[in-house]
């Protein structure tokens, strides 16, 4: 038995991050772009059965949808492994969110500035759960790039919630969002512990 390797494995910490947002905002793309393993995807074809149930007008070319979750893994450092869980974006699958968030330290809420209205429910969800989250404005081809301060104001974000611009298709860009939410979640945890001690 390799005791050095076993000991190192024991020292490695793992944590869970949830990637959430509206339908077609890039959650599956983000998990797939950063995962060091082949991501697990639970996708189904978008069929005529979704007419009148799902609004596909903003994403007319979308042929599939996540019905349970996306799962991926990313090693940030030799002693920190992130497990990524992408939520389904369609409201009829939101009952999965509670289970996916169990044990998570934080969440990334992906936002499309062309469909800001789709962002309010995910933001309200994480605020009500008390789960630390950041907002990541996903860069879509041809979309207008608004100043982040304007987006934060439009979303009525509290001043302490981090907001950043990313491209979910780009590994390095998506990785920065994961680093930021991990840092923010640890910062919030440290502040909460300090308050409890005093």
Angle at 152 between CA 148 and CA 155, to 5 degrees: 140
Percent of the chain scored above 70 by pLDDT?
Answer: 74
Query: Over 50: is that where the pLDDT of 161 sits?
Result: yes
Put residue 156 in one of left, alpha, beta given phi > 0 → left and psi -120 to 50 → alpha: left
- So what's the pLDDT on residue 79? 84
What number is the average pLDDT over the span 32-43? 82
The CATH class, in words, for 3-197 is alpha beta
How far apart, in whole angstroms, are the C-alpha atoms of residue 59 and residue 23?
A: 8
Query: Over 60: is that where the pLDDT of 61 sits?
Result: no
How far apart, in whole angstroms, are the C-alpha atoms of residue 187 and residue 192?
A: 9
Per the listing, tokens 């469909």 go with 115
Per the listing, tokens 């390797």 go with 5
Which residues of the chain form beta strands (DSSP E)? 13-21, 40-45, 64-77, 80-86, 106-111, 133-138, 163-166
Is the pTM for the entire model greater than 0.85? no
What number is the average pLDDT over the span 14-28? 91
Query: Over 50: is that where the pLDDT of 3 sits?
Result: no
- So what's the pLDDT on residue 33? 94
- Sorted by where each begins, the domain ranges of the chain are 3-197
97 or 159: which leads in pLDDT:
159
């Amino acid at each position: 038995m390799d005791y050095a390797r076993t000991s190192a494995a024991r020292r490695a910490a793992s944590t869970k991050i949830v990637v959430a947002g509206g339908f077609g905002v890039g959650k599956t793309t983000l998990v797939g772009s950063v995962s060091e393993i082949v991501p697990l995807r639970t996708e189904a074809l978008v069929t005529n059965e979704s007419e009148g149930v799902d609004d596909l007008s903003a994403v007319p070319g979308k042929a599939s949808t996540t019905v349970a979750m996306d799962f991926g893994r990313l090693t940030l450092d030799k002693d920190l492994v992130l497990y990524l869980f992408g939520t389904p974006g369609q409201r009829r699958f939101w009952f999965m969110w509670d289970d996916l968030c169990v044990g998570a330290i934080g969440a990334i809420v992906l936002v499309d500035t062309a469909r800001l209205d789709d962002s309010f429910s995910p933001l309200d969800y994480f605020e009500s759960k008390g789960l630390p989250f950041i907002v990541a404005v996903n860069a879509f081809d041809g979309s207008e790039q608004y100043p982040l301060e304007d987006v934060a104001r439009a979303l009525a974000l509290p001043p302490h919630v981090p907001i950043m611009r990313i491209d979910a298709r780009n590994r390095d860009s998506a990785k920065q969002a994961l680093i930021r939410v991990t840092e923010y979640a640890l910062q919030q945890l440290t502040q909460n512990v300090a308050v409890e001690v005093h």
